[in-house]
Amino acid sequence: MREAGADVGVDPWGNLFGIVPGSTAALAPLAAGSHLDTVPNGGIFDGALGVVAAIEAAAALREVRTPLRHPLLLLAFAEEEGTSFGVGCLGSLGAAGRAPALEALTDRAGRSAADAIRAFDPGVPRRTMPRAFAAYLELHIEQGPVLERRGAPLAAVDAIVGIARMSFVFRGEANHAGTTPMDGRRDALWGAADLVAAVREMARGTGGRAVGTVGQCTVSPGATNVIPGRADVTVELRSADGGFLDSLCGEAVAAARACAGRFGLEVEHRNRWTEPPVPLDARVHEEITGAARDLGWPIVSMASWAGHDAKILAAIAPAGMIFVPSAGGISHSPLERTAWEDAARGADVLCRALLRLDSWDGA
């Protein structure tokens, strides 16, 4: 960041940032970046690519002596993955003024997030980051197979999907796996298994508008020779359409009741987490698309099926995202890979989009 001409600091949430001055006084900064943390055993692209690309854009603009009118805020957010303290986008939540209480968040060793941040010393001054941005741009790997399948090198993201997480408990009657006739059973796993199939068929039937996953399934008592008396499953649904997501949640609950009713079971559900979809800024989306066009590269429009810092930043600034392909759709793995030419194209579009955004008045 310093080599790119930025004045560097670390904010109270452990986010690193650098400010490159603009040529026009009193304009709010254009911001660009992503996060630096990774999941355990993750790859080298998720997050870091967007940070490096933003710095590279600043360095390139400096090299060609083309200062922006706006200050350029380079961002390297902390703790986007939520691996250490269980809260995703912790750094960007802080930057957006929505951080949870840091003393109450602890890692596995029992250390609080507040203590971890106090101990974090990147050798730069602790400072407050500007909170009013003219726009926020984030380059990120797709983390899915859509671009690769469509043969497209780039996407402008139009929305970040909403996520609904529910848990279901099916209760039947634990009983002897031998002496209980088939027609006298109230097997909780029968209901849960049918719900797995129902969620699959429901999500498949949306024609790509939603995905649905049962990621956890536990049965109790869990012995080979005992009929399960209880089965717990989680259902996660995602869609970029908030109303549609709500209706799918209703369908999942209705399906669970039908599965339970079929076998004389009881079922309870709990909504554990709901995040509405976040549409990204249409004008920023247009500048990203225009930047790709300027450079002669095809670009498609798609939703992001994963959460990103841009989802948080969208609440305080016009925000946009650029996706580049993930080979095989693989992510959160050492096998995560994006071709360097794809990474470079993404960085070029980021830089070009910053130039286009810089022509905005005030914003």
Q: Which residues bind its own copies (CB under 8 A)?
A: 142-146, 149, 161, 163, 165, 175-184, 187, 189-190, 192-194, 196-197, 200, 203-204, 206, 208, 211-219, 222-228, 231, 234, 236, 238, 272, 305-307, 329-332
Shortest Cβ 216–its own copies spacing (Å): 5
Q: Toward its own copies, which CB reaches closer, 134 or 166?
A: 166
The torsion angle over the Cα atoms of residues 301, 305, 311 and 314, rounded to 10 degrees, is 20
Closest by CA to 34, choosing from 313, 288, 289, 282, is 313
Shortest Cβ 277–its own copies spacing (Å): 12
Q: Cα–chain-centroid distance for residue 130? A: 23
Q: Toward its own copies, which CB reaches closer, 91 or 307?
A: 307
Q: Toward its own copies, which CB reaches closer, 305 or 360?
A: 305
Shortest Cβ 349–its own copies spacing (Å): 20
Q: Toward its own copies, which CB reaches closer, 263 or 297?
A: 263
Q: Tell me the C-alpha distance between 320 and 280, whole Å.
A: 6
Shortest Cβ 236–its own copies spacing (Å): 5
Q: Toward its own copies, which CB reaches closer, 136 or 190?
A: 190
Cβ-based neighbour number of residue 150 at 10 Å: 13
Shortest Cβ 253–its own copies spacing (Å): 17
161, 344 in Cβ contact below 8 A?
Answer: no
Phi-psi region of 234 (alpha: psi -120 to 50; beta: other; left: phi over 0): beta
Closest by CA to 139, choosing from 325, 332, 358, 360, is 325
Shortest Cβ 150–its own copies spacing (Å): 11
DSSP 315-332: TTS-EEEEEE--GGG--S
22, 71 in Cβ contact below 8 A?
Answer: yes
Q: Toward its own copies, which CB reaches closer, 173 or 266?
A: 173
